[in-house]
Amino acid sequence: MWGIFLESVVIFKNYMGFHENHFLAVIYLLALLYLWLTEKDKCRRAIFVYAPTLLLLLFFCPLFRKVFVRVLEDSETYYRLLWLLQMSIVSAYGLLKFVGRHRRIGLAAACLVIAACGDYVYDSEHISKAENAYHLPQEAIDIVDMIEPETGRITVLVPADLIYYVRQYSTDIELPYGREMLISRWDYHNAMYEAMEEVEVIDTPSFVELTRHGNFPCTYVVLKEDREISEPLTDYGFSVYGQVGEFVVYRDTTL
């Protein structure tokens, strides 16, 4: 039981961001404590105090977690119970309650705390300057513009780097697999993805067989120019249709 409790503590810390910025969690817990001490309205107390407190107690209860996992047969989504804490609502209401009671000191303290919680978003490695109005990589747009048909739809095999962006830009381009292949814990199997991404050197004969005669025949294949391949695709009925940056676009002339 103690081990299960410690696992719940780790999940809580990860969800609250204690490894990066724990201020939001601290604000929430302080707001909850403040409402415990000051909130008198029964309805509001039930919503902003009793409900989140009960949920926290259940979340850390090893017996409740064992029942949850056994009933739902899923231990990986246990953290989603924390979505019900309504952190933003409880924190905002608690701060407003504090500011309303202590206007000068409360307002200054609330502004200071909110400022301390902030991060300069443009310092994040996940944020980059938009290259175009679509906020998508320009290379993905240029590739789609190059191969997009005037009518109908085509299937295109692209590297994992482009999977997220091609379908955002055009619904006329179909992919033989999507983001489900990029989430390792989902454990999906796709022979074409394995032949494309999970080998050091692409085996050309078997690769062409999949792209040409598989469940989703691909009119175009996009590879990075430094992608290792056992034999050139041009020896198997493909032609180089064009190149965008590091991506080489091949067209299957047999389809």
pLDDT tens digit string along 211-252? 999 889 999 999 999 999 999 999 999 999 999 999 999 999
Same domain (yes/no): 49, 81: yes
Same domain (yes/no): 24, 73: yes
Domain that holds residue 170: 138-252
Same domain (yes/no): 39, 108: yes
How would you classify the pairing of strands 220-224 and 154-157? Answer: parallel
pLDDT at 157 over 90: yes
Written as one string, the DSSP assignment of 107-166 is HHHHHHHHHHH---GGGSTT----SSTT-S-HHHHHHHHHH--SSS-EEEE--HHHHHHH
pLDDT at 18 over 70: no
Same domain (yes/no): 149, 243: yes
Question: Could you tell me the two tokens for 231?
Answer: 């034999």
Same domain (yes/no): 13, 109: yes
Same domain (yes/no): 117, 162: no
pLDDT tens digit string along 97-111? 888 888 778 788 888
Last residue of a domain, one of 59, 91, 123: 123
Last residue of a domain, one of 100, 123, 146: 123
Same domain (yes/no): 40, 144: no
Domain count, the chain: 2
